[in-house]
Chain A
Amino acid sequence: MDEDRQQQAREDDRLMERLARDDQSALAELMERWQRPIFRFVYRQLGESEAAEELTQEAFWRIWRARAAYRPEGKFSAFLFRTAARLCMDHYRRRPRRPIQDSERALEVAPAAIGFSADDAACEHQLAEALERALAGLPEKQRLALQLGRFEGRNYQEIAEILECSVGAVEQLIFRARARLRLALADFLPPTDAPPARTRKHPAPGALSMSGKDRRDGKARS
């Protein structure tokens, strides 16, 4: 899996070399590879499809503009996510994040997924809303770090590169995000004296969450 990621990184660098020679088809290929992850990333950050569309386009436009200055010293994906993260931060300054609207939501939160039994749809809805509110209430850097770690399969070192901070700061950002969410969603979490549903070492087959070790091995989930 690591080999796959390295191969992908080399291919990205080759495309950037072509881009530096004004080859527009290289941009089309880069977009083919990255527009989905970037759109998803921005959408989760902003909670708006329209703004996500605009910012994703802007991110690739900036990649195009930076084609001559780009040096393949770090990973291209980190460069791209850093560009998108900066755009998100600029967007927050203009307009704070709003919770994602029901009509836009693709997934409903399943209480069963956390070992919380709910018989009626009202509870499910309540849980989804609480999750959205809690995520919307996170400081932007915490939300960015959490998403990069949980969904983009980035380790702390890579998140630090993207957010332009130290690894220690990333650790703090993610821990604080988890602590805040834990407080905000306390009603929906099992009590601390309850035995864990499963441990990190023995994940349930097909479970949605992934341990850090898995992610470090490159098993990124979309």
Chain B
Amino acid sequence: MARHDHNPEDLARLSAWLDGELDAAADEQLEARLEREPALRGQAGQLEALDRLLADWPAPAHIPDLRPAVLARVEASLEPWHRRLWMLPWRHLAPTAGWAMAGVLAGFMMLPLMPQHRTMAQAANEDMMLSMTLPRELVLISDFHELDVEVTP
């Protein structure tokens, strides 16, 4: 009896049989087996119970009419491009754009008030330029070093 309990082939055949997808010969053969084999019959009963349970697969409580939205989209797609540009939701974007612009302007206005920091890279660059512009021939090496030490922070 337990022989058929987990036989996937039988289950697959039963599944196709429940859906009416077996050909006439296979259909008859399976039905003959169902007559003979209580375990197979039990499995068929279980699958039928499952199908009945599935009949309660939740359906939507309310189905809206979607025609106006789709037809409006279609209508808009048939407009020439310059009219479609005007139909874009600019007024929704306006507040965001306004705030962004105000932020940029405020940033520019604050710029002179910002403390000037010399980065290490900037400092090194300036020292190198200073060293390169010093007269080479009239300065002793020791003076050059002293000068260089003075200007290097």
Q: Report which A residues bind B (CB closer than 8 A).
A: 22, 24, 27-28, 31-32, 35-36, 39-40, 43-44, 49, 52-53, 56-57, 60-61, 64, 100, 104-110, 113-116, 127-128, 131-132, 135, 146-147, 149-151, 155-156, 171-172, 174-175, 178-179, 181-182, 185, 188-201, 207-209, 211-216
Contacts and interface: CB of A to CB of B under 8 A. Distances in A.
Contacts of A31: 66-67, 70
Contacts of B74: 24, 27, 61, 64
Contacts of B31: 201
Contacts of B75: 24
Interface residues on B, range: 35 or more
Given A150-B54, A150-B57, A209-B51, 13 more contacts: A24-B75, A39-B66, A49-B60, A61-B73, A115-B49, A132-B58, A155-B20, A171-B12, A171-B15, A175-B12, A192-B5, A198-B48, A200-B44
A100 B65 CA distance: 21
B71 A24 contact: yes
B57 A179 contact: no
A156 B21 contact: yes
Given A35-B67, A185-B50, A198-B48, A179 B11 contact: yes
Nearest to B21: A156
Interface of B: 1, 5, 8, 11-12, 15-21, 31, 34, 38-39, 41-67, 69-71, 73-75, 77-78
Contacts of B18: 200, 211-212
B43 to A, nearest CB: 5
A172 B67 contact: no
Nearest to B67: A31
Contacts of B43: 192
Between A171, A175, A195, the greatest number of chain B beta carbons within 10 A of the residue's beta carbon is seen for: A175
B4 to A, nearest CB: 8
A132 B54 CA distance: 10
Nearest to B15: A175
B57 A194 contact: no
A174 B17 CA distance: 12
Across chains A and B, which 9 residue pairs bring their CB atoms closest together, nearest first?
A: A212-B20, A196-B45, A208-B55, A212-B19, A192-B42, A213-B20, A106-B61, A175-B15, A109-B56
B12 A182 contact: no
A212 B21 contact: yes
A147 B39 CA distance: 27
A122 B86 CA distance: 56
A22 B74 CA distance: 10
Contact of A105 (B45, B58, B66): B58
Contacts of B60: 39-40, 43, 49, 52, 104, 106
A196 B43 CA distance: 8
